[in-house]
């Protein structure tokens, strides 16, 4: 119910903890600052925004106290370890139901919980009706807040009865066999998914942690199409399964350096966890006990027979006994090492970086001048919404961005995200005419694709689909280098084209010449080291290189025709 004054509850909780010199962080500011000012508080909590430099933010955080921090700043600082996360006593969140709509706050709490296992997280709200809308709204909010306890303080009632009803599990396939031929594809897919989950439950105890994690990754990559499964791979519970399986293999250790040192996320190495199978430990103990008894026995040692369910398990146990469990797990680890994505700092206003992090990708936040996401050393992605696409086409900024991407990266990608629930059109219906105008958005997009033939345009219906697409694009590809991506600027002299390096000025000038196109310019570059050498080539030589008489004529006349340009008149 409304009217419980969550502000007073939050402030009282803050005052109780602040008396003990705790280091607290708030994820909201405006309302609390104004209310504290009205109560006559002179020493207000400090506010940390983007105006505060990184070194100054570090000093402010190490001094302790209560801080108001924007979620975007906190996400970047957590990823780059600019602030000591292990010294934070807790985080207070106001307007708890908003955690579902705001991806940045949820991502902030996820990073805080990964780096600080003991700090508390508390959230407050006085709008209980917000939990009644939607499906499992309370569970979703508590999951995003990483809290396990829910306290309901009603305005009038003192006690609220709570009852939980459990539905008994039934054997579904047995009852569906007589009607199997009458079932639809969706029902059959649900039954198949139940079978897959049962197999995963069996493999969880049968396989080692690395093999099980590799199995989950292969399962996710092979069933990414929505038509091939009922959608359980895209649920939050599925994401939790992948995250927990990954935590059994490796984790990111907390920085043990001095607090005043700044550790970038690219410098932090993964710490292998490689959780051993309990069966292996029990088997090792039994074999050691047998070996001790054989040494003290007066008879000859007997044979030990180990029975397993399949040949693969037998081979794995053989390697485990011969080399040890640590060697076996390290042997498998190289095949499931997580990937890395370089993300521009400005992209942390969107939901996509947090979704990539949930899917096991390492996020490396840097300031990029070319592109928004660097997936591989050769793949650069510029992300646009539909409104941003139209505005960039009208202003010409998209042309400059595509020029830089195609110049410095072999695979330039223009990613356009749209909301499937909201229909859109690049042109209004009233703008359709019999004659095509060059000012139309569709015309400019067509000219963009003609001018940059190597530009790949991808359309994604949601950030979740974009995250899945990034995982597909990174499969089997090398990892990008943050320093190399940050060094690429609009004024760089290097062009990523083939295995050679070209000067961008003459390179662009060559592509603008008449008769030169994307199909024949490489042949000209191989036969002429400079524009001066190109001008010295005869017409017959150009015919041998280009193989097209029309292109040869246009290029030769452009290089050798003399135009009379009148000299500018001097003003008296």
* Model pLDDT for residues 123-151, shown as the tens digit of each residue: 877 777 777 766 777 888 888 888 888 87
Nearest to 471 by CA among 200, 230, 220: 220
**Joined tokens for residue 524:** 């000209």
Q: Is residue 143 a contact partner of residue 236, using CB atoms and an 8 Å limit? A: yes
Q: Is residue 455 a contact partner of residue 410, using CB atoms and an 8 Å limit? A: no
Q: What is the mean pLDDT of the chain?
A: 74
pLDDT of residue 322 exceeding 80, the answer is no
**Joined tokens for residue 60:** 């402010």
Q: Is residue 321 a contact partner of residue 285, using CB atoms and an 8 Å limit? A: no
pLDDT of residue 464 exceeding 70, the answer is yes
Query: Which are the contacts of 523, defined by CB distance < 8 A and separation ≥ 6?
Result: 545, 546
Assigned architecture for domain 504-560: Orthogonal Bundle (1.10)
Tokens 């010295």 locate to 536
- For the chain, give the percent of residues with pLDDT over 90: 3
Assigned architecture for domain 340-487: 3-Layer(aba) Sandwich (3.40)
Nearest to 521 by CA among 499, 536, 538, 506: 506
Q: Is the dihedral of CA 422, 427, 428, 434 positive or negative?
A: negative
pLDDT of residue 111 exceeding 90, the answer is no
User: What is the maximum span of the chain, computed from C-alpha positions, in angstroms?
Assistant: 123
**Joined tokens for residue 123:** 């959230």
Threshold 0.75, pTM exceeds: no
Tens digit of each residue's pLDDT (9 = 90 or more) over 8-62: 566 566 555 554 444 555 555 556 666 677 777 767 777 777 777 777 877 877 7
Q: Is the backbone of residue 95 left (phi > 0), alpha (psi -120 to 50) or beta?
A: left
Strand partners, 414: 382, 457
**Joined tokens for residue 159:** 């006690």
pLDDT band at 408 (very low <50, low <70, confident <90, very high): confident
Q: What is the mean pLDDT of residues 221-244?
A: 68
CATH of region 6-145: 3.40.50.300
551 versus 358: the higher-pLDDT residue is 551
pLDDT band at 382 (very low <50, low <70, confident <90, very high): very high
């Amino acid at each position: 119910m409304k009217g419980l004054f969550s502000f007073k509850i939050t402030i009282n909780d803050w005052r109780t903890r602040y008396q003990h010199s705790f280091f607290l962080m708030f994820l909201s500011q405006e309302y609390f600052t104004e209310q504290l000012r009205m109560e006559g508080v002179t020493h207000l909590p400090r506010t940390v925004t983007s105006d505060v430099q990184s070194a100054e933010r570090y000093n402010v955080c190490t001094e302790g106290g209560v801080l108001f921090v924007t979620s975007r700043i906190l996400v970047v600082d957590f990823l780059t370890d600019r602030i000591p996360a292990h010294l934070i006593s807790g985080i207070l969140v106001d307007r708890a139901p908003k955690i579902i709509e705001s991806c940045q706050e949820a991502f902030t709490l996820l990073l805080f919980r990964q780096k600080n296992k003991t700090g508390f997280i508390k959230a407050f709200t006085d709008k209980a009706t917000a939990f009644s809308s939607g499906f499992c709204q309370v569970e979703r909010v508590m999951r995003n807040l990483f809290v396990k306890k829910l306290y309901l303080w009603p305005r009038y009632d003192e006690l609220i009865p709570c009852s939980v009803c459990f539905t008994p599990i039934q054997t579904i396939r047995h009852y569906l066999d007589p009607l199997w031929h009458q079932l639809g594809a969706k029902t059959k897919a649900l039954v198949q998914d139940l079978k897959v989950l049962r197999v995963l439950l069996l493999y969880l105890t049968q396989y080692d942690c690395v093999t099980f994690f590799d199995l989950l990754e292969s399962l996710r990559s092979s069933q990414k199409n929505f038509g091939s499964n009922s959608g359980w791979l895209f649920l939050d519970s599925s994401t939790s399964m992948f995250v927990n399986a990954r935590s059994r293999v490796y984790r990111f250790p907390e920085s043990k350096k001095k607090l005043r040192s700044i550790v970038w996320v690219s410098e932090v190495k993964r710490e292998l966890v490689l959780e051993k199978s309990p069966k292996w430990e029990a088997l090792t103990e039994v074999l050691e006990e047998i070996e001790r008894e054989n040494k003290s026995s007066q008879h000859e040692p007997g044979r030990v027979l180990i029975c397993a369910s399949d040949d693969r398990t037998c081979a794995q146990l053989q390697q485990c006994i011969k080399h040890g469990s640590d060697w076996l797990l390290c042997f498998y680890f190289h095949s499931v090492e997580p990937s890395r994505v370089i993300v521009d700092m400005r992209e942390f206003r969107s939901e996509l970086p947090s979704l990539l992090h949930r899917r096991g990708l390492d996020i490396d936040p840097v300031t990029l001048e070319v592109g928004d996401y660097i997936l591989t050393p050769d793949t650069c992605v510029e992300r646009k919404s539909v409104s941003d696409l139209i505005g960039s086409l009208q202003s010409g900024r998209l042309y400059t961005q595509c020029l830089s991407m195609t110049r410095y990266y072999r695979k330039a990608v223009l990613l356009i995200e749209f909301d499937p629930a909201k229909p859109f059109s690049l042109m209004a219906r009233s703008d359709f005419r019999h004659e095509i105008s060059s000012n139309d958005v569709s015309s400019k997009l067509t000219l963009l694709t003609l001018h940059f033939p190597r530009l790949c345009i991808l359309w994604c219906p949601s950030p979740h689909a974009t995250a899945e697409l990034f995982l597909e694009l990174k499969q089997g590809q090398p990892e990008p280098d943050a320093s190399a991506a940050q060094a690429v600027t609009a004024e760089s002299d290097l062009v990523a084209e083939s295995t050679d390096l070209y000067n961008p000025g003459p390179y662009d000038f060559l592509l603008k010449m008449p008769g030169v196109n994307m199909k024949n310019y490489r042949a000209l570059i191989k036969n002429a080291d400079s524009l001066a050498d190109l001008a010295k080539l005869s017409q017959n030589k150009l015919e041998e290189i280009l193989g097209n008489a029309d292109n040869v004529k246009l290029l030769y006349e452009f290089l050798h025709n003399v135009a009379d340009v009148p000299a500018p008149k001097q003003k008296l």
